[in-house]
Chain A
């Protein structure tokens, strides 16, 4: 048998046996293998090594909850099919439960290795909105971290053959039972039940604080494991919205429904889901507690229809709990009835309040649900002071008893007053703490989901006193992203609007009275209004006989403005009368404006001007809507000066009809002329666009379009031509936008009998917006931007990918990049109009007209790094920010404008672990811990630069750790003292190094080194202004087994160097640390620190109080901040407000109240983990460094509470042009001759800037700063090598090649090619000593590599070494090197490049010159 055939049989047998049910496996094997025992044995041995079979049989089933009654046979079948499948990262191993909507599996995750519960939503039960929520949820899930909330690891959608399959993976709770079942099984008494439930309240409160309403609290969603800890499940998890529940209930039987409805609050039973807030969960908690304590329900919902059940919930009084369980009489009756109030405002306002109330019952304290009466408080008092009371009662009698009563009474009165006051205060504080973060987090969530009206409402509810808080202003700034607001009209529904191409005039029916208005954008404030009465009067004068019964003018017809803004037309028609009136006015020429007016039989829903000729196209619907035509009027030129005034000639001649198209057949709603006037395009039959050439149209063949575009499959909302008329964008209700290449489309159509063109043929690009429709579309004035207005109020902007554009191509490429979304309007966007300055004007359905920069970012980003950013810092004066990354070093930024102003490449090393700024005697210093993890080339150093006022940077001092074989990283952390005189640095081996900055910077020296920790010093900071005390924090590295017992130490920064460890350390390792200085004056140390914050890998943040005794600090733990779910890398105190900002691997920036120690806001938006953050010395903005894996995630995110219009404009412009500058520089042809390589960049930038019409400021910036953009080492290396290898070049060429090679070496000292190139250039220049060194290094770097490329480098290096040695006169060395070169060439067969062959030949010719 051929091996290949055997192999195929083996695979086949394995597949069949593996997929067979276990009982049948043996028989399947027998059947497949027949009597081939060898095959069978091999299959069996392979099966033994099959991962899934092994794990499935090895692990026993774990009960997770009760199996539901078998009412859903379909669901069970479906679930059975899923068993064993891989969903996301999880393999489903056991079915735990199955229900009508979905099922729960126990599943195995491979990495990290753990068992999880996976919940799947059954296809068909997942409404589109639920699917949409599945995509949003993961961001929310990260915020929930509470011991009594089951953690959700992941939510996602898997594509299944039945369609999208939403799932989420959550914490597996072994042997879980529902809350009520657990209480029953364990026979818990009342106190146990209350205590258990109070924990549930805490968990729900935690969720509410994170801005999440559960909406579906019921016993089945509160599980209790064997350990007796309750866990709320499904918190923040996508579920059908309330409206979906209502829909589902209509389709299910009443029996199922009651289960669904039972715990729903009255407001949840309303169709309007917007009224639902956290208090709805309080009601559901009340229902669950009621059931837990009584075993019954407060209403009888078992009989009757859905309608009756809902009515009961909304109207019926609940049965008093004590009727079912007399032990509940009194407090618990009151508590339950308060929780179950129909009116949310009468319930407990937070879950914490309810929980606290239950704990009061347990402590026998008065509860707030009962109105405090003297007797009630006395009763409570008596129970608390039971023995005293009894003792008193027995001991004292008669008159003494009376006195005693008075005493007690007095005490009770005092107690009561105290209680009242305490309760009011506590409630106020609690409410404040509960509501404020909820509002902020709700606003932040709404912002991300484009619900700006929700966000605005949330922020409006923030108390006036809190409006100035940093976190509120950060959110408010994001709400006000637009440049300016031109019209804000209440009650205006976003009627028809038109803007000329010059961007000067806006015309339309705007304003509260919906009068026709013309707004001059240049002369702000000048606007001409044509109120209804004027039009009305004029109209009556013009046509006195045609209409008798005019009731009102209805200004809902079309408006149009021509490209130059010289002519405007609007249509009004008369309610009660058939004809409409077209009014033509010209606002520029005269004031009062001149105009012309003519009647049209029917309504005119759409008009458009021809851009260059005096044509006006209008769609006319006959009064009975049976006849629809498109008419093109020739208005004549110039506009006849009919004044819209009393002396106008009534009637006037209507304009000539140039052309009439039968719109009946076309079924056309909207049309437009192309800007060059060559085409006419119309949306026809909802989904097609027809395009005519004007020449054929006017030439008489108007009934047949020149092309029909067959692209969008849903109703078209809008279309727009690009300014050069080369592209036509069409937008539809499904959110899809097609951009057609117009000339190509027409060319294809010409070859077709039916003139239809599909997407592929027409070269159309497809763009799409998820989850909403695109209602309007417009190209930017330069044609490289396409913008869409969306049904959800967002504005989306795509940028053309101009990289592929060659100057010889007539049109730019039809390729578009990932879009930028900005929140435009609270409701759908009605129209988008590009302005000449790059802005866009939008009209929203709510009545506002706003202008925007299309590339304004919600959370602006600084982008210049290509790998993960480790560290971010502001200069002490706040003028510059620096960021350091893992490979391309340090970038200095102009923060306000978002521009990179310098790039600093550390000498010979690459990774920047940490950086800091210092101010020393008026000089700005930048210090960085830099290292290389290269195994052969381990380097670790501290570098100190001076940053000159011009942003030029000079290296002043460098300190390298001695090389060590084991070392991977070197210095981890560094800090400047406030006076700039000291630098502290912590290394990987747990040592603290202290440097004194010298008066000449180069004289800086290390003055102390001290072993403090057993693992790396991850963070450190000076504790006081003078820099006498240092706090160091230790990080236990992942692969080290030894966890240090001393993660935090205080050290005195002198050569004596005492050191202390705080007693109560809570972390195993610390990654983030910040010190807050409080200036209180006094002694040396009193001028120091008040607070310290540390953060660790688990997500915990600790707050410490620093106290000074006799000049020695000590730390006292104030509390822990729980919220982050992963490593916390960045911690920073706000300089002026009591706020702490933290960020970490969960990609969220959290803002905490540093006094009350509660989380106030959580900002998401980062697509990568956040490694570090910094707050500007003035308190704004906040920068967070993102360590992303993919593309633009390697950015610094800016949260700016006070963006100026200038900075916003500059950032938006720079965001738009950054890539273009990059693109203008990168594709420069590196081929020789290269003499002017560096001079080519400016020329190239100028050429591109001219072609693409860049704004002046961008061009100036790009010319001045282009070296910042060259960060491709290859840009230098490739041309340098091409010169160096060519022995016929001039010496000046080789000098240039050497310069380039050295620049490449600076960027990539690990690169053997860079060493080789530098060595070769040095050899050509006769610098033989250095050449030998470089070439040897190149050879050493590739010595052990087996890669063909490395072998080639080794061969070339050997060849050049041969020549260099030969020139040095060392024949023996030359021969040895040549032998090595030949050896490599022999060993690599034929797969060696020509560089090696050429080098070998050159070496050979030098070594063994052939006789001529």
Chain B
């Protein structure tokens, strides 16, 4: 069940070797860690305002991968894939639980796509994005992954390009398409 941090690396390589069970175990480890960090962060970020998902994801990376940010480029890419998924799951869970305290006002769900998701976003908007993204995933899982990395994990587009192993130019194109598609879906 819970995995020691040192196992993350071996899980990642097991995932790389096509071990489906490893992917599942890894997902739990990453989710657990994100969950913890996010709550810790929410406590401490209170005075500053919004909790940035990027920060949580990067901190999870450092904690699970052992602190040396420059190591293991291959695993780094994989890791962010998992982290984006876990972060999305976390935000959606969080939004569901928080649904009763909708804060309202402000931006529309479509406008959320301009930046990375945060824990403080309107729960209903977050859920709307999640739903639209699931629809996108049915048509084009790769673009959905891109949005997940960009929006839920808060990666910059060039980091997304690195994580998905495609050129920044191609990512720009795909992001333009995916975000236009989602915007239309959300408006």
A residues neighboring B (CB under 8 Å): 3, 7, 11, 14-15, 18, 45-52, 86, 110-111, 113, 801, 803, 815, 817-818, 866-868, 870, 885-887, 910-911, 913, 931-936, 966, 968-969, 972, 1016, 1018, 1035, 1037-1039, 1071, 1127, 1187, 1189-1192, 1226-1227, 1230, 1272, 1274-1275, 1277-1278, 1281, 1308, 1310-1311, 1313, 1344-1349, 1352-1353, 1391, 1393, 1395
Given contacts A52-B176, A1191-B67, A1310-B39, contact A1038 B48 (CB under 8 A): yes
Interface CB pairs A-B, < 8 A, 14: A7-B139, A46-B180, A51-B179, A885-B44, A886-B44, A931-B43, A969-B43, A1039-B120, A1187-B44, A1278-B1, A1278-B3, A1311-B32, A1393-B1, A1393-B24
Q: Are A933 and B93 in contact (CB under 8 A)?
A: no
Q: Are B59 and A1190 in contact (CB under 8 A)?
A: yes
- Judge whether B135 is part of the interface by a CB distance below 8 angstroms: no
Min Cβ gap A164→B in Å is 14
- Judge whether B76 is part of the interface by a CB distance below 8 angstroms: no
Given contacts A933-B43, A1272-B5, A1274-B2, contact A818 B68 (CB under 8 A): yes
- Judge whether B55 is part of the interface by a CB distance below 8 angstroms: yes
Min Cβ gap B159→A in Å is 13
Q: Are A932 and B28 in contact (CB under 8 A)?
A: no
* A1058 and B101 alpha carbons, distance in the complex (Å): 36
Min Cβ gap B184→A in Å is 4
Given contacts A110-B115, A1274-B3, A1346-B93, contact A1127 B48 (CB under 8 A): yes
* A1227 and B6 alpha carbons, distance in the complex (Å): 7
* A201 and B8 alpha carbons, distance in the complex (Å): 58
Q: Are A49 and B184 in contact (CB under 8 A)?
A: yes
- What B residues does A18 contact at CB under 8 A? 176
Given contacts A49-B187, A969-B43, A1035-B47, contact A1230 B4 (CB under 8 A): yes
* A1151 and B89 alpha carbons, distance in the complex (Å): 45
Given contacts A867-B41, A933-B43, contact A46 B66 (CB under 8 A): no
- Contact flags B147-184 to A (C-beta < 8 A → 1, else 0): 00000000001000000000000001110110111011
Min Cβ gap A690→B in Å is 31
- What B residues does A868 contact at CB under 8 A? 41, 44
Given contacts A801-B68, A1310-B39, contact A1037 B46 (CB under 8 A): yes
Q: Are A887 and B68 in contact (CB under 8 A)?
A: no
Other than the given A50-B176, A50-B183, A1190-B58, 13 more pairs (CB < 8 A) read A11-B177, A14-B176, A46-B180, A49-B179, A51-B113, A817-B68, A913-B44, A934-B39, A935-B97, A1189-B55, A1277-B2, A1308-B36, A1311-B36
- What B residues does A886 contact at CB under 8 A? 40-41, 43-44
- What A residues does B71 contact at CB under 8 A? 815
Q: Are A818 and B70 in contact (CB under 8 A)?
A: yes
- Judge whether B18 is part of the interface by a CB distance below 8 angstroms: no
Q: Are A111 and B2 in contact (CB under 8 A)?
A: no
- What A residues does B173 contact at CB under 8 A? 11, 15
In the complex formed, the residue of A with least CB distance to B4 is A1274
* A974 and B180 alpha carbons, distance in the complex (Å): 50
* A287 and B67 alpha carbons, distance in the complex (Å): 53
Q: Are A1038 and B50 in contact (CB under 8 A)?
A: yes
* A932 and B32 alpha carbons, distance in the complex (Å): 16
Q: Are B44 and A968 in contact (CB under 8 A)?
A: no
Q: Are B44 and A111 in contact (CB under 8 A)?
A: no
- Judge whether B14 is part of the interface by a CB distance below 8 angstroms: no
Q: Are A911 and B40 in contact (CB under 8 A)?
A: yes
- Judge whether B131 is part of the interface by a CB distance below 8 angstroms: no
Q: Are A1391 and B28 in contact (CB under 8 A)?
A: no
- Judge whether B103 is part of the interface by a CB distance below 8 angstroms: yes
Q: Are A1348 and B94 in contact (CB under 8 A)?
A: no
In the complex formed, the residue of B with least CB distance to A935 is B97
Min Cβ gap A1072→B in Å is 11
* A1037 and B41 alpha carbons, distance in the complex (Å): 15
Q: Find the residue from A18, A815, A886, A931 having the highest chain B CB count within 10 A.
A: A886
- What B residues does A870 contact at CB under 8 A? 44
- What A residues does B15 contact at CB under 8 A? none
Given contacts A49-B183, A49-B187, A933-B43, contact A1190 B24 (CB under 8 A): no
Interface residues of B in 43-61 (CB under 8 A from A): 43-44, 46-50, 55, 58-59
- Contact flags B107-141 to A (C-beta < 8 A → 1, else 0): 00010011110001000000000000000000110
In the complex formed, the residue of A with least CB distance to B143 is A11
B residues neighboring A (CB under 8 Å): 1-6, 24-25, 27-28, 31-32, 36-37, 39-44, 46-50, 55, 58-59, 62-63, 66-71, 89, 93-94, 96-98, 101, 103, 110, 113-116, 120, 139-140, 157, 172-174, 176-177, 179-181, 183-184, 187
In the complex formed, the residue of A with least CB distance to B56 is A1189
Min Cβ gap A1356→B in Å is 8
Contact of A1018 among B47, B49, B140, B184 (CB under 8 A): B47
* A616 and B116 alpha carbons, distance in the complex (Å): 66
Q: Are A15 and B177 in contact (CB under 8 A)?
A: yes
* A1191 and B63 alpha carbons, distance in the complex (Å): 8
In the complex formed, the residue of A with least CB distance to B25 is A1393
* A1071 and B46 alpha carbons, distance in the complex (Å): 12
* A776 and B13 alpha carbons, distance in the complex (Å): 38
Cβ-closest 9 pairs across A and B: A1038-B49, A1349-B28, A911-B43, A887-B40, A49-B183, A886-B44, A933-B43, A933-B42, A886-B40
- What A residues does B157 contact at CB under 8 A? 86
* A1071 and B47 alpha carbons, distance in the complex (Å): 9
* A1348 and B59 alpha carbons, distance in the complex (Å): 23
- What B residues does A936 contact at CB under 8 A? 97
- What A residues does B113 contact at CB under 8 A? 51
Q: Are B40 and A867 in contact (CB under 8 A)?
A: yes
Min Cβ gap A899→B in Å is 20
- What B residues does A1016 contact at CB under 8 A? 47
Q: Are B37 and A1346 in contact (CB under 8 A)?
A: no
Min Cβ gap B151→A in Å is 12
* A261 and B29 alpha carbons, distance in the complex (Å): 62
Contact of A7 among B1, B48, B140, B184 (CB under 8 A): B140
Contact of A969 among B1, B46, B96 (CB under 8 A): B46
In the complex formed, the residue of A with least CB distance to B29 is A1349
Q: Are B181 and A46 in contact (CB under 8 A)?
A: yes
In the complex formed, the residue of B with least CB distance to A817 is B68
In the complex formed, the residue of B with least CB distance to A1314 is B2
Given contacts A1190-B59, A1190-B62, A1281-B2, contact A1310 B36 (CB under 8 A): yes
- What B residues does A913 contact at CB under 8 A? 43-44
Contact of B184 among A15, A46, A818, A1281 (CB under 8 A): A46
- What B residues does A1281 contact at CB under 8 A? 1-2
* A935 and B101 alpha carbons, distance in the complex (Å): 11
Q: Are B62 and A1191 in contact (CB under 8 A)?
A: yes
* A14 and B89 alpha carbons, distance in the complex (Å): 30
Min Cβ gap A1238→B in Å is 16
Q: Are B179 and A1346 in contact (CB under 8 A)?
A: no
In the complex formed, the residue of A with least CB distance to B54 is A1189
Contact of A1346 among B40, B46, B89, B177 (CB under 8 A): B89
Given contacts A111-B114, A934-B39, A1189-B59, contact A968 B2 (CB under 8 A): no
* A1191 and B69 alpha carbons, distance in the complex (Å): 8
* A1084 and B110 alpha carbons, distance in the complex (Å): 62
Contact of A1226 among B6, B37, B115 (CB under 8 A): B6
Min Cβ gap B6→A in Å is 6
Contact of A932 among B31, B39, B101 (CB under 8 A): B39
* A86 and B79 alpha carbons, distance in the complex (Å): 26
Contact of B37 among A113, A867, A1035, A1348 (CB under 8 A): A867
- What A residues does B36 contact at CB under 8 A? 887, 1308, 1310-1311
- What B residues does A47 contact at CB under 8 A? 180
- What A residues does B69 contact at CB under 8 A? 1190-1191
Q: Find the residue from B1, B69, B71, B172 having the highest chain A CB count within 10 A.
A: B1
* A48 and B113 alpha carbons, distance in the complex (Å): 15
In the complex formed, the residue of A with least CB distance to B67 is A1191
- What A residues does B50 contact at CB under 8 A? 1038-1039
